[in-house]
Amino acid sequence: MRRVKQVLSAIRAEVTPQDAAFVAKHLTQSELELFRQMSLPDQRHCLNVANTVAELAGGLREVNQPVLIKAALLHDVGRRRGDVSTSDKIMAVISRAVFGSGFAQKWGKQGRGGAWENLRHAFYVSANHPEIGAKLLRQAGTEEQVINLVRYHHHPAGMADSKELSLLRQADDLN
Ligand SMILES: [Fe+2]
Ligand SMILES: [Fe+2]
């Protein structure tokens, strides 16, 4: 239900000049372009996740704070503005809540077209945005540590996960 609430509250999303300054401080020019290619609600979500990781990791010496904050700001860049309509996105969110993430992985199909293709594309993006984002970040010259955090942010938790990855997942769930 948190995901559904997330979509509904996103309708009122905004990015303040203060947020914009925060983003510009942490990202390179090409990363900034990717950040801006997300929808406003996704930009807001990533900013909220970045604020949460900063709170959770504040004072933890073993955590690479700049890497973690950058990964938080960029973790959903695989979801690009205009690629998926709001109603298709809501369908994908509801289906994930009801059937789990495996369904979108199986049924999703890349490529926009008619209403049906667009819905399948939304499921594809929902299931594959970590990989899509990792690829975009590699092209942007982002450091490997950040790319890996983005790539694995929806993978099930494992013993070998870094502290940064655990904090990113935790903050993503809270937002
Ligand atoms: Fe995500
Ligand atoms: Fe997210």
**Domain boundaries of the chain, sorted by first residue:** 2-83+128-174
Tell me the CATH number of domain 2-83+128-174, given options 1.10.10, 1.10.3470, 2.40.10, 1.10.3210: 1.10.3210
> 90-137 pLDDT, tens per residue?
999 899 889 988 898 899 999 999 999 999 999 999 999 999 999 999
- At 5, the pLDDT band (50, 70, 90 cuts) reads low
Rounded to the nearest angstrom, the distance between the alpha carbon of 40 and the centre of ligand 2 is 13
> What are the tens digits of pLDDT across the range 28-71?
999 999 999 999 999 999 999 999 999 999 889 999 999 999 99
Neighbours of ion ligand 2 (CB under 5 A): 76, 172
Q: Which two tokens stand for residue 165?
A: 């990855």
What was the pLDDT predicted at 171?
98
CA of 134 to the centre of ligand 2 (A): 14
Check if the beta carbon of residue 28 is closer than 8 Å to that of residue 154: no
C-alpha 135/C-alpha 143 separation (Å) is 12
Distances from the Cα of 163 to the Cα of 78, 79, 99, angstroms: 23, 25, 29
Q: What is the pLDDT of residue 101?
A: 80
150 C-alpha to ligand 1 centroid (Å) = 8
CA separation for the pair 10, 101 (Å, rounded) = 21
What pLDDT does 10 receive?
A: 66
Ligand closest to the CA atom of residue 132? 1
pLDDT tops 70 at residue 79: yes
Burial of 134 (0-12, 13-18, 19+ CB in 10 A): buried
